[in-house]
């Protein structure tokens, strides 16, 4: 199976299915640093990235924003001194789609760039 980070997002329609419980369990294993909180009934993927200062966190934030535009799938980015919190979910289906897992894996891969 191709690594999540090598896969491409697909266009997500409003009637696209959310990941099943089984898919969630399997996919979470591929992004072990991520949590899957539910907020107002919407399942999301979230990870905190720690940095030495604001400027480094800001630089990583810019990389994630570029990635989002390339894939046309967008996260919530919370930028603070020494920390960037990245949250992925699919607004069109109010939950998690495979695209969110692909983007989480691609976000992790940006750390190595
Ligand atoms: C029109 C709609 O906003 C676009 O198709 C894209 C833009 N980026 C997106 N990003 C996320 N996370 N979820 C979406 O449903 C989404 N939709």
**Ordered per-residue pLDDT tens for the chain, 113 residues:** 579 999 999 988 888 999 999 999 999 999 999 999 999 999 999 999 999 999 999 999 999 999 999 999 999 999 999 999 999 999 999 999 999 999 999 999 999 87
End-to-end Cα distance, the chain: 23
Q: pTM above 0.90?
A: yes
Domain positions in the chain are 30-91+103-113
In this structure, are residues 71 and 106 in contact, taking their beta carbons and an 8 Å threshold?
Answer: yes
The Å distance, Cα 51 to ligand 1 centre, comes to 28
| CATH tag, 30-91+103-113 | 3.30.1360.20
What number of CA atoms fall less than 13 Å from residue 56's CA on the CB side?
A: 8
Cα gap 105→88, rounded to integer Å: 11
Rounded to two decimals, the ipTM of the complex is 0.93
For ligand 1, say whether the CB of 99 is within 6 Å of any of its atoms: no
For ligand 1, say whether the CB of 92 is within 6 Å of any of its atoms: yes
The Å distance, Cα 7 to ligand 1 centre, comes to 18
SS3 for 56?
helix
Joined tokens for residue 38:
């539910």
């Amino acid at each position: 199976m191709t690594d999540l980070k090598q896969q491409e997002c697909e266009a997500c329609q409003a009637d696209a299915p959310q990941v099943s419980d089984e898919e969630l369990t399997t996919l979470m294993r591929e992004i072990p640093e991520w949590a899957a909180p539910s907020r107002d009934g919407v399942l999301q993927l979230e990870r905190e990235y720690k940095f030495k200062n604001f400027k480094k966190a800001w630089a990583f934030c810019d990389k994630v924003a570029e990635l989002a535009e390339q894939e046309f799938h967008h996260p919530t980015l919370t930028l603070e001194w020494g920390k960037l919190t990245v949250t992925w979910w699919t607004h069109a289906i109010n939950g998690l789609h495979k695209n969110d897992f692909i983007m989480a894996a691609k976000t992790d891969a940006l750390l190595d760039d």
